[in-house]
Chain A
């Protein structure tokens, strides 16, 4: 398995898509920080006026709860770097979507290139392949989360400490939780790739599943029968509504959900790979 992992890491480092997708996440962060800075800080408002962004200057920022106009700076009340990080990429599913695209391209290129024949002729126990792919995905996920969060911290500094820094314990808890849930997603995407062997099908699956489209659709139907408790056990729910602060054992549910789905989809992928010829 470690040989396969070494091979996967060698390829990951040489995959353009890894860098393109990371760059797009970082670009989204820059854009978000810049927009918030323009809208919500007096310096930003002045800068917007200077460069002729009259639309932004004229915006009356409203408190979403009371509907009253608020002064610049008050929009970010209660915000810290962790909440900014969540709002930028995590809660809306952007991170999982982009991460999903990268790993789907990574998984499916083994099939589309035919290199799978070289791999499978050497590694006839299919589960080693699945384990290697998921380990590579875990390393990529860890790097993406760390880089993306580190970049948010850097942007916060560059934008004159727009929001206060979140406590390190909260950051570690949330990143760990996100890692667990995204790995559940990674195993799901691997299953989709193993089953369809098509990058386009895998990407569609990644977008539909990570943005919660499927969960929303099914929950509408089950909601009619008052059967919506299952939603809180989905990967999407645990990604979007993950607690930022650890306050009790119940907050660890996301870890359990991620681990269960990771194990389930990994086993299913191994079964599919074993049953289908290369």
Chain B
């Protein structure tokens, strides 16, 4: 059936097929290594690595972060998501002691964040990596090691090797590419073997190989029990890593959920656009008791639990309901995030 409307809009099913491919590449299905990460996180999910209690930050009277109650369980990889200016970096800065909260409290591993021993259990990479440009990678790492009072002689070599920065020789940091600086920033954050790593856009500027290496490094460290809070706009990459998510909007933490909860919310559904929702819905429920239908608006219905869509299309058409478009959907983290931002994810 071809109507004026279906001529104007290309069939959604094609777009959905494309999305399915994209989704399959970027997201959700835990691979072998990731399974270990999840198992490990489940083991450690009894204590909180980070807890903020009504954390707020005002800049000139305007709230950058407002009454934020974040809970990050020990051993988790917490993906912290939000638009530009949502308050992510401000929150992470407060966690790392770089910004003073206007109100509220931060507890790291059950203790005050100002406790010097607790601070040493935290490694940070906030925004760009802070490095002395006239020094080499090794000298920068030695500086941080001295700042921490690390006595272990191999600590610097170990983190440089872990991040692939051990072969930069006498090259000064000012001659490094952005990706190299970022790797070195991660190396510095890893110094002292911290239990909590706060990484703000850690894969910015990295090449695909570098992204993969950093991802593997994070997974490996997480298997060792380290907790991560990662903020990134590369949601596909974040979804490969994260065991938990926090979504911040206009300084307010709108949602915290686990990977399982997100998967549940992003489950496959069949969306069908019809001319008469009121007629279509009873037809579905009467003839297909195994599916669950949900009305989105006055033209769209989402059907969960459907294996194959052509039977439903035939059923509706045979009963005089016009079908404009139909197709399977699967939301990934990006879709969910965008839906959450414009408020439609609740539907």
Contacts and interface: CB of A to CB of B under 8 A. Distances in A.
Interface of A: 2-4, 6-7, 10-11, 14, 16, 109, 113-125, 274-275, 277-278
Contact of A117 (B119, B126, B135, B143): B126
A150 to B, nearest CB: 28
A144 B98 CA distance: 34
B331 to A, nearest CB: 36
Q: How large is the interface on B (under 10, 10 to 19, 20 to 34, 35 or more residues)?
A: 20 to 34
B146 A121 contact: no
Given A14-B139, A117-B126, A277-B100, A6 B131 contact: no
Contact of A124 (B93, B119, B147): B119
B208 interface: no
Interface of B: 93, 96-100, 113-114, 116, 119-120, 122, 124, 126-135, 139-140, 142-144, 146-149, 188
B188 to A, nearest CB: 6
Given A109-B132, A113-B132, A117-B126, A125 B147 contact: no
B97 A120 contact: yes
B119 A10 contact: no
B148 A114 contact: no
Q: Which of B96, B127, B146 has the most CB of A within 10 A?
A: B146
Q: Which of A2, A4, A115, A122 has the most CB of B within 10 A?
A: A122
A93 B144 CA distance: 35
Tell me what chain B mostly uses at the interface: helix, strand, loop, or mixed: loop
B279 to A, nearest CB: 59
Contact of A115 (B100, B113, B116, B131): B131
Contacts of A11: 132, 135, 143
B146 A6 contact: yes
B97 A124 contact: yes
Given A3-B146, A124-B114, A124-B119, A14 B135 contact: yes
A114 B140 CA distance: 12
A90 B305 CA distance: 86
Contact of A113 (B114, B126, B131, B146): B131
Nearest to B114: A124
Contacts of B143: 7, 10-11, 115, 118
Given A11-B132, A11-B143, A122-B119, A117 B124 contact: yes
Nearest to A117: B130
Nearest to B94: A277
A122 B147 contact: yes
